[in-house]
Structure 1
Amino acid sequence: MQRIPVTAPSKATGKTREQLEAVQRKMGRVPNLHATMANAPAVLTAYMGLHDALSHTSLDNRLRELLAVTVASANDCEYCLAAHTEIGKNLKVDETELFHAQEGESTDPKTRAALNFTRTLIEKRGQVGDAELSALKAAGYSNAAILEIVATTAMNIFTNYVNLVASTHVDFPRVMAGAKS
Structure 2
Amino acid sequence: MTTFTVPTREQVATTNQVIFDNLQKALGFVPNLYATIAYSDNGLARFLAYQNAKTSLSNKEKEAVNLIVSQVNRCAYCQSAHLVLGKMNGFSYAQLLDIRKGKSEDTKLNALVSLAADITKNRGNASAEHVDLFFAQGYSKENLVDLILQVSDKTAMNYLHNLTQVPIDFPIAPAL
Q: What's the TM-score, normalizing by structure 1?
A: 0.91
Match of 1:137 among 127, 130, 135: 135
Letter in 1 for 2:107: P
Where 1:153 maps in the other structure, the secondary structure is helix
Letter in 1 for 2:163: V
CA distance in 1, matches of 2:106, 2:127: 23
- More off after superposition, 141-150 vs 18-27: 18-27
Q: Which residue of 2 aligns with 1:88?
A: 86
- Bigger RCO of structures 1 and 2 (CA < 8 A, at least 6 apart): 1
Letter in 1 for 2:145: L
Structure 1 residue 66 displacement after superposition: 1.3
| Contact 1:73 1:177 (8 Å CA) reproduced | no
Q: Is 2:74 the partner of 1:46? A: no
Q: Deviations over 1:129-180 (max 9, x none)?
A: 43332211101101101111111011100000000111020100011132xx
Q: Is 2:165 the partner of 1:149? A: no
Q: Which residue of 2 aligns with 1:160?
A: 158
Structure 1 residue 79 displacement after superposition: 0.4
| Contact 2:9 2:17 (8 Å CA) reproduced | yes
CA distance in 2, matches of 1:12, 1:43: 11
Q: Is 2:18 the partner of 1:7? A: no
Q: Is 2:102 the partner of 1:104? A: yes
CA distance in 2, matches of 1:126, 1:65: 19
Q: Deviations over 1:9-45 (max 9, x none)?
A: 2433321111111211211110101111111123222
Q: Which residue of 2 aligns with 1:30?
A: 30
CA distance in 2, matches of 1:100, 1:121: 18
| Contact 2:69 2:155 (8 Å CA) reproduced | yes
CA distance in 2, matches of 1:132, 1:101: 16
Structure 1 residue 100 displacement after superposition: 0.6
CA distance in 2, matches of 1:12, 1:78: 25
CA distance in 2, matches of 1:69, 1:157: 11
| Contact 1:102 1:177 (8 Å CA) reproduced | no
Where 1:41 maps in the other structure, the secondary structure is coil
Number of aligned residue pairs: give it.
Answer: 176
Q: What's the TM-score, normalizing by structure 2?
A: 0.93
Letter in 1 for 2:23: V
Q: Which residue of 1 aligns with 2:113?
A: 115
Unaligned runs of 5+ in 1: none
Q: CA RMSD in A?
A: 1.6
Letter in 1 for 2:28: G
